[in-house]
Amino acid sequence: MSVAIHAEHDLSGANTLGLPCLAEHFAAPRDLGELREALTEGRVQGWPLTLLGGGSNLILPQRLPGLVIQPAMDRWWVEAGAGDTVRVTAEAGVGWHDLVMALAERGLWGTENLALIPGHCGAAPIQNIGAYGVELGEVLESVHLLHLDDGHEAVLRAGECGFGYRDSIFKRELSGRVVIVRLVLRLSRTPRPRLDYGDLASRVVKKPTPMAVARAVCAVRREKLPDPAELSNAGSFFHNPVVPAELAQRLLDEYPALPHFSQADGRVKLAAAWLIDQCGLKGWREGHFGVHDRQALVLVHFGGGSAVELLAFAERIIERVQARFGVTLQREPRLIAP
């Protein structure tokens, strides 16, 4: 067998929350053949399977039994399409931010607002990553995947992925049933800057390049969000809640400064960070975890903590927000059960 399978593999450096975790068995397949080998070995041995991307949006237990597979296929390439369209294919193990910056450098429009989002390309469709007014589903053409039950390959068009706000079919019907092996993105050579979110427009020149927009996004994110390499975190820990219009109006009557965004279905999205901040929790620390002092949506790990402690800490935040505003926050990072 050409794929290496390691025993008792340390995953503490493979998740941006820095939680201690040991994988009973671990493989990092470098191509589709090695991926199939690892999956076959896991089935033969009867090992439960856990798929791991860049570890940026998940909570790991102290030990994962069975087999953990982290795809390491890291090739990407560009193909000309019709007119000004350019198709980009990226394998699952490609670093998302590295890809975004390389595409921006080539003058391709579409992903620049998604700069500095941590993780790998294979995990990007799972939560339909989004930032600064753009979501992956807007530039995604298709997802190539492998079914775990019988190993057959399939392709889903973007419209078949059930994309929503931080949601997709990969979180629901296909959860635990497929492994994403590559993405196809549809980008453009025609300038299409999206600068209507926050203060992006004031940070770039009148006719910006994709790289100028990407660098502006990086600057904003670095000002507001801690670098996981310096202070362990999983980015935004809570979804921005979407509530009925009646509840939103009652809250706005009492809190006119509450940031809110009307949705197509009539509901209203609220800013979770504002709700947490109003509860006096920005900068709050308890034990090994805390709320970041510049961005209340981010929970940080100071080291030495566990998933159990983190979840208990998050639950206290949820309870405080619920008690004051009648709004229930939902956790964004995915919890991996042992």
Average pLDDT over residues 61-74: 95
Residue 276 has pLDDT above 70, yes or no: yes
Compute how many other C-beta atoms are within 10 angstroms of the C-beta atom of residue 117.
Answer: 21
Active site residues: 166, 236, 332
Residue 325 has pLDDT above 80, yes or no: yes
Please determine whether the domains at 5-69 and 76-224 fall in the same fold group of CATH.
Answer: no
Q: Could you say which architecture CATH assigns to the domain 5-69?
A: 2-Layer Sandwich (3.30)
**Comparing C-alpha atoms, which of 29, 26, 28, 96 is closest to residue 63?**
26
Average pLDDT over residues 177-184: 96
Tens of pLDDT, residue by residue over 76-103, are: 999 977 789 999 999 999 999 999 999 9
Average pLDDT over residues 181-207: 89
- Give residue limits of the domains in the chain: 5-69, 76-224, 232-335
Mean pLDDT of the chain, nearest integer: 94
| Structure confidence at residue 1 (pLDDT) | 66
Q: Could you say which architecture CATH assigns to the domain 76-224?
A: 2-Layer Sandwich (3.30)
Tens of pLDDT, residue by residue over 242-264, are: 999 999 999 999 999 999 999 99
Tens of pLDDT, residue by residue over 281-313, are: 999 999 999 999 999 999 999 999 999 999 999
Domain 232-335 classified CATH 3.90.78.10?
Answer: yes
What is the pTM for the complete model shown?
0.86
**Comparing C-alpha atoms, which of 118, 128, 70, 71 is closest to residue 98?**
118
CA-to-CA dists, residue 272 to 32, 278, 320, angstroms: 40, 10, 12
